Structures are given as structure tokens and as C-alpha cells.
Structure 1
Amino acid sequence: MPTVTLVPADVRGADRDALIDFLTGHEWPFHVGRRRTREEVADAIASGRFDGADHATFWLESQDRGRVGLAVLEDLDDDTPLFDLRLAAEHRGLGLGTAAVRAIADHVFTTLDVNRLEGQTREDNAAMRAVFVKAGFALEAAYRESWPVEEGPALTSVAYAILRREWEAGRHRGDDDRPWLVVIDPQRVFADTDSPWTAPGFPAIIDPVRRLADAHPERVVTTRFIAPTKPMGSWEDYYAEYPFAFVPADHELYQVVPALADLGGPVVAEPTFGKWTPALSTVTGPTPHLRLAGVATDCCVLSTALAAADAGARVEIVADACAGSDADAHRKALEIMAGYSPQITLTTTSRLITARP
């Protein structure tokens, strides 16, 4: 894991122009205001948004990469300070976000007499939600329709926090060996009995998936299969054969079924059968311990398992928490994946919950 150091920024003096350049030189897709103008940043500096009694601003410095980002601590006169974290575009996806949040926690709890540290992001920021988990923060709240979005309706804001006693116990340093439960594509298109893609065993996996989610607190990822904006190559043939599925990502067909919509954790949407993509590996790390559930065993589960194992992940298939396109296809897919032992192994819900991770 890389290390990041907090360096105080002189926002009204020597660092003023660099701060303006940094905030206006990148897009911030998951912040309020995707682009900032020089005038907006200058006004924010003048109004005390970056310094004063209840704000402090720090450059994020990496020994290997130099200045990589910015952190602003807010509400420093409160028992629960907040922080705003921004990484330059070229430094994202490298583990620096987790290192930065750990450094922020170290600074706050060693310099301030506070009991909690909190951060917030919008619901669809899977990478930042994974950072919070890896840095030992717990999901505490979800504020519906409270995060303004320029291109559409407001999204849910999710709040994560860590307590001083958890920081003192080293929780913020993380336990990267804890397994991740990945629930693959629990969507209406695979659950509805009138769908051409229905998995007949879908109803039977709902209870096992919920039990598994309860047994993997703060380590659950849900994936969604979606159609591409423009099919290319063999995907053109695919959607010519299944035109009903060529619908927008927010279409009801591609929504998670209500019975599994509240599992919590990041949601990763991909236009591919296999879900082992940069978006998922950003959440779990590059060589994680994965436990796979969901649908369909003989398609998206299989494709995800093989790609993840090739990348170095340790993969467990929770057989009774997966459903295939039919019972025979489910059985054959399990047999195929079992042949990849020890990289891919088969297990059951009861076996895992008896030996809680």
C-alpha cells in the first residue's frame, strides 16, 4: 500500500494560485460541481472555505509521485469533523485514496480532541465507498435525494465514519484479507418469470444471499448487467438476437430486485458478462478473496470467476446462492469451475456462516 503525507497549504499566500490551478485543472465527476471556475475558487478562498477556525487544507504528497491531491478538513470546531478528498485525475485508481484517508484519520485523532471522523459521497461513487471501507469507516447513514447532480435528479448521499476507539485499535489500517461478497446481477431481467432470460432458481437464492450479506458486513458489492450505449463486434449480433434487452441502464429490466436492493455497499454496472473489471477491482483490490453469488451460474458468474482467478484473486463460488439458466446448466458450470481448484473452489452458505470470516 502506498503512503501519503499531509502537507499544510498556505491557501491565502504562497499556495493560493496552485490551489486555484488544481481545483480548476481537473474534472470532479462525483463532487458537487463537476468543473470549477477560477472565480468560484477565488471566492471560496476569500470566504474562508479552506482555512480559519473550522477549516484546514492540506496537500497530499506521495513519496513516489509527488503532489497527488488535496484534502480539506471541515467543521473542526465540532466533535465530528468532515473531510473533502480530491485526487488529481492521473493519480486515481492506484490505492492513494485509501492511503490518504488513513493519513487524514491519523492527523485528526492525533491533533484534535474529537471522537468521530466522517466523510460523505454520493451513492454511485463505488471507488470512494470502497476507500471508506478499506480505511475502516462504517456506513452510518443514507440521505435520500440530497446530493445535487447537474445532469439529473438528486442522488442519495451516503455517510461513513470512524470512531476514535476504532482508530486506536488500528481498524483504519484495514484487513485486506477479509473476503468480499460479490452478488452478481440480481436483477429483474433474470428474476421475472416472463423474462426470456429468467433463471428458474432465482427465488431460492434470495435468502442465502441475504444471509451471506449479513455475514460480510461492509464487504458486499452488487453488480448489474447493462446494455452498452453502442454495441460493437459480436455484441451487435447478440442484441440483434435479444433486442428486448437493448434498453437504457435505468430501465426497470436492469434494476436490482426489491428483495436484494438494500444489501448496501457499492454497485458496479458493466455491459459485459464478466464483472471482473477495473471498476470492481478498484473496490476489492487487485488480488482479493472473493465469494461469488448471483446469476447466472453458467454465464456471468462463470465469466467473472475465470477472469478474477486469472488476475490472481482467490475465488469461492457459493453454490446454493447461485442460480443458472436451468438446473443442468448450473450443475455443469459448477463442475467446470471446480476444475480450476485451488484458484476457484466451491462452498455453501451454511459452511461459510458457520465459520464466519
Structure 2
Amino acid sequence: MRLDPRVSLVPADVRGADRDALIGFLASYEWPFHVRPRRTREQIAESIDDGLYDDEGHAALWVEDATSGRVGVVVIEDLTDDTPMFDLRLAPEHRGHGLGTAALRALADHVFTALPVRRLEGQTREDNAAMRATFLRAGFTLEAAYREGWPVDDGEPLTSVAYAVLRREWEAGRTRGGDARPWLVVVDPQNIFADEHSPWAAPGFAGIVEPVHRLAGAHVDRVVTTRFVAPEKPTGSWQAYYREHTFALVPDGDPLYAVVPDLAELAEASGPVVTEATFGKWTPALAAVTGPAPHLRLTGVATDCCVISTALAAADAGATVEVIADACAGSSDDAHRRALDVMAGYSPQITVTTTDALART
């Protein structure tokens, strides 16, 4: 695990000298991606008295930066379990400068040095793209998504996503942020594109299922599935689009937008699913999984719509993109070939290859 010499973790004396400082820090800000975004000084003091920062199962540490001084606090939880968890909070003015990544790396070093545990885990809300990217840069792997597991005041619960790093990964110095292995992105393998009776059917869809499975087997823990869905209320040019394609203006949960059975198990077992109401899938949600400038291998449908939209946007953002021709299907054979020709013209940022050619490399 790479460490950042700028950041250190210092135990907090929460019942003594650091009590007022901790209360002041936590009460001074709103924490929008936490279960309780705002807490009063009295509530925090009560939590300290209840041992939620320094009992057998908890420990609080200040996050200190060599230049800026005290920038945040991390509370380690479940210290008596084999998988401790944590709550990291950085002051708003110190976010976006890489300190979160450095703090997580320092935390892993602290936990695996001090405790005989095998895993370190953290969770965040599905829409906290910055924290999700921080987990990956710090060497954590996305392991689970608990649907409707994150309560939200005055709103519907969101998915809670869990990331973890293993002791053996820490010992080996492996980090996600420095992991150059490519990501396999399976673009929109859904019924709406697979069903031959659908107006949006990709005629070659059945032929890509086997190549996608082969590729997934070669990209263990580096597979992302995407889904296209209609927006709740189309705006702008999407209004005209859905007036023309009214059949597709259905809720996310409609069977039309489900992943096809032949690939549903792959999507559930292999990694995250990114759902967007846009053709292109290179969005903050996908970048949060893969990192900002990854190596992507694109498969799926339709070559001449969602695949090409994803490829061009990702390449523009600095990603290295390979399009796996025999694992993609277009709205027609001609449209498929034309889209591949267009993308090949963006070499070396985008290259077109095949499953067999990758197997030989």
C-alpha cells in the first residue's frame, strides 16, 4: 500500500484534551453524504460519553497534513471484528486535493500494522462519486451494493456501496489507483436491445453473449455492466426523442430495461452496474469505478449508438479505449461496420480489436 508522507494519523484524546476540538470540528460543518448530515454539539458530546469514539470497538484519529495541519478525523469502528470499518470526514476546504486518498492509505497501514485483521471496509452512498473514486485510488475494491440500504432524510433510501482492502493486498503494496489492468465494460446488455420484436433490437445481439462471457473470465474483478433507462421526465431534445419512441418511456424497473438472462448473473457477480439515461456511459459514475483515465475494453450494444458515444467521450477524457468488434452488435450489420470504421479513425486513443486477438496478447 503506497503511503503519502504528507498525511499522518494521530490518536485523539476524545475524553480529555481533544474533546472540545472534536465537538467543534464535527459540529462546524454539514456532512451531506453521511446518514446524519448535521449534528449539534450536544449530540456529539453524548456520543463521546457513550463511548462511540474510544470504547473497545471504536478509536478516533486526527488526520493531519504536513502543510495544512489538522484536516479531518477518522473513526475506526468494529475493532473487535475481523473486518473493522471506518468513518472518514475531511473539512470541506481540504477536499479535492488528494488528502482523502492519502488518509485511506494511512488508515490501512495503521489498521493492518496494529490489528490482526484480514480486511478493512468502508461504505458510502451510491451518489458520492468523489468518495467512490477515493476508495479505488487508495487500493480498495468495490465488493457489494446494498439496495435501499442508506437512509436519506426526506427522501427515498439510496444504495449503500461497500469497498474493502485485504491484508494480502496491503502487504503486496497493491493499489487500485496504480493498477493498470484494463476494465471490461459491457454496454447495455438489456432486453430492449436483445428482443427481436423490440424496435431497438440489435440483430447480432445473440452472437455477442459468448464472447462477452469469455472476456469476463479474463477480467476478474474488473467488469462493469451499464444500463440505459428512460428519464422520469424527458427534457430538451429528449422530449422529441421519446415522442418518437413512446414504447421506451417506461420506468427503470420495467422488464424492457432488465439485463438479459444470459448476462444477468454476470452482471450480479462480476462487479458494479452503472445506470444512466444517456446514450454515452462515460459519466462520473463510471469514472468513479474505473478512475479518471483508465484502460477500457468496450463490448455490448449498440455499436452505432451507446458504444460509440461511450468510446468517444472516454477517449476525449484521456481513457485508452479498445472496442472488441465481435463482442459488440449494431442496429444493423452496416451500422456496426460504419461505427467501427469511425472509431478506428481515432487511433491510437481508440483501437478496434477482437476477442481472439486479445487472447493472443
What is the TM-score when the length of structure 2 is the normalising length? 0.82
Contact 1:108 1:117 in 2 (8 A): no
Range moving further from structure 2, 276-285 or 82-91: 82-91
The counterpart of 1:100, out of the listed 103, 110, 114, is: 103
Q: Please give the per-residue CA displacement for 1:168-195, whole angstroms capped at 9, x wherever unaligned.
A: 2111475332212222222222223332
Residues 178, 61 of structure 1: alpha-carbon distance in 2 compared, 3 angstrom cutoff:
farther
1:185-200 map, 5 Å: 185-200=188-203
The counterpart of 2:340, out of the listed 326, 329, 334, is: 334
Alpha-carbon separation, structure 2, partners of 1:185 and 1:83: 34
The counterpart of 1:247, out of the listed 246, 250, 260, is: 250
Residues 92, 40 of structure 1: alpha-carbon distance in 2 compared, 3 angstrom cutoff:
same
Contact 1:130 1:266 in 2 (8 A): no
| SS across alignment from 1:166 | helix
Aligned to 2:231: 228
| SS across alignment from 1:6 | strand
Residue 291 in 1 paired to residue 297 in 2?
Answer: yes
Range moving further from structure 2, 200-209 or 149-158: 149-158
Q: Please give the per-residue CA displacement for 1:47-104, whole angstroms capped at 9, x wherever unaligned.
A: 1111133311123344577655432112324444322334456666665443332111
1:64-213 map, 5 Å: 68-87=71-90, 95-110=98-113, 112-121=114-123, 124=126, 127=129, 128=131, 131-138=134-141, 142=144, 147-150=149-152, 151-152=155-156, 158=162, 160-163=164-167, 165-172=168-175, 174-213=177-216
Alpha-carbon separation, structure 1, partners of 2:121 and 2:187: 28
Q: Cα distance, 1:217 vs. partner?
A: 2.3
Contact 2:125 2:158 in 1 (8 A): no
Q: Give, as a single letter, the amino acid of the residue that structure 2 aligns with 1:75.
A: D
Q: Please give the per-residue CA displacement for 1:185-208, whole angstroms capped at 9, x wherever unaligned.
A: 222222233322122222222222
Residues 5, 136 of structure 1: alpha-carbon distance in 2 compared, 3 angstrom cutoff:
same
Residue 316 in 1 paired to residue 318 in 2?
Answer: no
Alpha-carbon separation, structure 1, partners of 2:97 and 2:198: 40
Q: Give, as a single letter, the amino acid of the residue that structure 2 aligns with 1:103.
A: A
Aligned to 1:51: 54
Gaps of 5+ in 1: none
Aligned to 2:273: 267
Contact 2:137 2:291 in 1 (8 A): no
Q: Cα distance, 1:39 vs. partner?
A: 4.6
Q: Give, as a single letter, the amino acid of the residue that structure 1 aligns with 2:186.
A: V
Alpha-carbon separation, structure 1, partners of 2:319 and 2:186: 16
Contact 2:184 2:297 in 1 (8 A): yes
Residue 9 in 1 paired to residue 9 in 2?
Answer: no
Alpha-carbon separation, structure 1, partners of 2:183 and 2:137: 11
Q: Cα distance, 1:105 vs. partner?
A: 0.8
Q: Cα distance, 1:305 vs. partner?
A: 0.9
Contact 2:186 2:226 in 1 (8 A): yes
Alpha-carbon separation, structure 2, partners of 1:126 and 1:210: 30
Q: Give, as a single letter, the amino acid of the residue that structure 1 aligns with 2:305.
A: C
Alpha-carbon separation, structure 2, partners of 1:89 and 1:206: 45
Alpha-carbon separation, structure 1, partners of 2:188 and 2:65: 37
Residues 235, 174 of structure 1: alpha-carbon distance in 2 compared, 3 angstrom cutoff:
closer
Residues 177, 253 of structure 1: alpha-carbon distance in 2 compared, 3 angstrom cutoff:
same
Q: Give, as a single letter, the amino acid of the residue that structure 1 aligns with 2:151.
A: V
Contact 2:202 2:330 in 1 (8 A): yes
Contact 1:210 1:263 in 2 (8 A): no
Percent identical pairs in the alignment equals 62
Q: Give, as a single letter, the amino acid of the residue that structure 2 aligns with 1:100.
A: A
Contact 1:129 1:265 in 2 (8 A): no
What is the TM-score when the length of structure 1 is the normalising length? 0.83
